[in-house]
Amino acid sequence: MDENGTAQKSEVAKEDVATSYFKSLFTSSNPSVFSDWFADFEPRITPSMNKSLTAEVSTSEIKDAMFSIKSSSAPGPDAVFFQHYWNIIGEQISKEANDQQVHALKGILRIYGEATGQTVNPAKSSIYFGSKIGEDQKKITKAELGITKEGGTGTYLGLAECFIGSKIQLLGFIKDGVQKRISNWFTRILSPGGKETLLKSVISAIPVYAMSCFKLPKGVCSKLRSAMTEFWWSSVEDKRKMHWISWEMMCVPKILGGMVFRDIEDFNQALLAKQAWKLLQELECLMARLLKKQGLRKRVGNGKSISVWTDLWVLDEGLRAPWRLINPFDVNLMAKDLIDPISKKWDMAKLQEMFFQEDVQRVLEFQPVNKGEILKEAELQPSLNSLKASVWKLPTTQKIKKFIWKVLCGGVAVGDKLEERGMKIQNVCQACGLDGESLNHLFFTCSFSRQVWTLSDLPLPELGFAESVYSNINYLVEQRKNDLVPKEISRRFSWVIWFLWKNRNDLAFQSHQFNAMDTMEKIIEEGDLWFLAQKVDKTCEVLARPASLSQVKHWRPPPEPWLKCNVGCYWDKGSRRSGMSWMVRDRCGVVLLHSRRSFANVGSKLECNFLGMLWALESLRSHGVAQVVLAFEDLVVCGVLERPKAWPSFRKQALDFSSVMSFFDGIRFELEPRFGFGSL
């Protein structure tokens, strides 16, 4: 209840009420001068003591504090580093900003603008000062740099400009934003499909930028996960409903029986892994070079990517290769060759044979990791997972697919499931009156359900339905592959399950009675209408489809004075042979150069296309072509040529292309069908 006596139900409104209450509770309405209360007390802190306590920290005090830390009790290598190199960096640590530093900062900003072309605008910039910088020095720095505004308290792309303090508080705005958005959605009546779309497309996108930069605290991830699960299972914000299926299970891929929701922690880790992937792919970028100097090292992993004698992977003050105890030695020796294939640990005999004892101890500090030992819990039930995965391929509505998936996960509120959750109910089948309402009884063994299945014309098991709901649904799914059963009948079973559930709820909550014949007629009508709508939609898509690439049959001339080279490739799967050809024409379409050749033992069509393009580039270079437009029919090859960084899986092919393309004065790429070569 707020101060006006109005009940507030949303989470955002409850937060406002609590904030207003405690603010008024701890705010004085009649402040007075408190110094008069303590006038008769004798101060224990003398003026000299107070002056000493409030004085600026001196260089000697910083040094004394740093050297008082024992190397054995230091929380990390920083303290030992500062002690060892104090004569070099001690002065830089303890002194305040001065004019020399201001000039250096100004020079850095100038060099940055000249190097990148992005000149810093002082009018739109702000500067952040540390707590030890005096007011006079702040004024001098602002005047020298031309920056008048102080920053540090604002936000940039949703993140705080100055990232100091508790990460939970600084990133708390993510949870607040998600909760506010979900509170607004609770005011609407949304279907499960609508909720799924909002959770996957909107909520998962809100914290993307923050998760790309920082690893979210577990508390923040837990609150986000709770808000998402509450929205999925509840229809009203202030009434919490039962969560029938764990959120971890719903985040599993569909092939493993889940619904492909994003787990916040895993998504956060994946976004951060993109930064690591960039460092691995762009070894000469500024961040990679900086981290290498700071001590970035390779992890052993399975040892397949570490060369023992050439890579810097042994930690000894800095990174270095291990010292050789043997001579001669194998230059191509990899770290995986030093791992015992049975125990998946270092082979001590090989280490002691090849390395000095000091290096053996350093290598043993980092044990290899066998990723094959890590198995997901969902992978331990392959048969049930495959059945759940097949549900998403059924020819029916998304609403019915989700419902059948919930049945297989045990997430439907029948009597047995409610009793398992500790609810005291009258566990009786509403249709036949027998004790115990299980999933299998409701959909397959109840007398009413058996009548509906008999009228469905589906071939039923010879001995009747089994005692397992999983076996029965699996039987119905397999009947779709039976060529003896017409498709109009085999695809009907999903609607039968759905209408049995609807009839059960109408009988339980509205006392509506149904007979099997009327129910079957409704099932056939609804199913036929849905399939008819799918045919109409496909017809409209074909009629409204724009002209595709294959319909562009005219050859497009290159700009003057460029030439155009069309490349074509053909691959035969049976013989694994391929044929390539290229043809160079001028703006008027006159053929100037052409060639063709074949390759043997080509594994795929994509490999054939890469070989053909590389051969065409090398041929054009040998003929002295300077400016050329390359036209090809394969989207992947054109993408690797234009944006190699966007195709990291084809890094080797991109490097082969770039080594040849550097010889051209100008080169462009076009996506063009093969049969457009000959017509003008």
The span from the CA of 119 to the CA of 106, in Å, is 12
DSSP for 445-474? ISHHHHHHHHHTT----TT---S-HHHHHH
Between the CA of residue 147 and those of 110, 129, 211, what are the distances in Å? 14, 12, 31
| Omega prior to 561 cis, within 30 of 0 | yes
Which pLDDT score is estimated for 369? 61
Is the domain covering 550-676 a CATH 3.30.420.10 domain? yes
| Residues 476, 493: Cα–Cα separation, whole Å | 7
Amino acid at 364: L
pLDDT at 564: 92
Q: Which residue has the tokens 């498709």?
A: 487
* pLDDT of the residue at 382: 45
Which residues, in sequence order, are bridge partners of residue 595?
Answer: 582
Which of 489, 497, 534 minimizes the C-alpha distance to 519?
A: 497
Q: Structure tokens of 229? A: 């699960």
Phi, psi of 164 (to 5 degrees): -130, 140
Q: Which sign, positive or negative, has the C-alpha torsion 263, 269, 275, 281?
A: negative
pLDDT at 520: 92
Both tokens of 548, joined, read 């595709």
Tokens of 653: 């092919």
First to last CA, the chain: 78
Q: In Å, what is the CA distance from 143 to each residue of 132, 149, 151, 278, 589? A: 19, 11, 16, 39, 65
Classify the C-alpha dihedral 101-106-112-115 as positive or negative. negative
- List 583's β-bridge partners, or say none: 566, 594
Q: Taking the CB of residue 294, how many other CB atoms lie within 10 A of it? A: 7
**Is the peptide bond preceding residue 459 cis, with omega within 30 degrees of 0?**
no
For residue 518, what are its two tokens? 């009327």
Q: Is there a cis peptide before residue 217, judged by omega within 30 degrees of 0?
A: no
Q: How many CA atoms lie within 13 A of 320 on its CB side?
A: 8
- The Cα 599–Cα 579 span in angstroms is 6
Torsion of CA 542, 543, 546, 552, to 10 degrees: 80
Residue among 453, 447, 505 nearest 475 (CA): 453
Distances 290 to 12, 112, 136, 300, 502 between C-alpha atoms, Å: 44, 17, 35, 21, 63
Instruction: Establish whether the linkage from the previous residue to 77 is cis, with ω within 30° of 0.
Output: no
Predicted local distance difference test score (pLDDT) of residue 119: 79
Within a 13 Å sphere around the CA of 99, how many CA atoms are in the beta-carbon half?
Answer: 1
pLDDT at 293: 66
Can you tell me whether residue 33 is helix, strand or coil? coil
Q: Which two tokens stand for residue 419?
A: 């009793």
Distance (Å, whole) CA 135 – CA 141: 10
The number of beta carbons lying within 10 Å of the beta carbon of residue 456 is: 20
Alpha carbon 325 to chain centroid distance?
45
pTM for the predicted model, two decimal places? 0.60
For residue 468, report the phi and psi dihedrals to the nearest 5 degrees: -120, 125
Mean pLDDT for each consecutive 10-residue tract of the chain (680 residues)? 76 78 73 65 76 73 70 50 56 55 82 78 81 80 84 70 74 85 86 88 87 88 90 83 86 84 89 82 74 64 80 76 84 86 83 88 75 43 75 91 91 90 87 89 92 90 89 90 87 92 90 89 91 80 51 73 92 91 91 92 92 93 92 90 84 90 90 61
Give me the pLDDT at residue 348, please.
87
Block residue for tokens 């074909």: 542
Calculate Rg over the CA atoms of the chain: 36
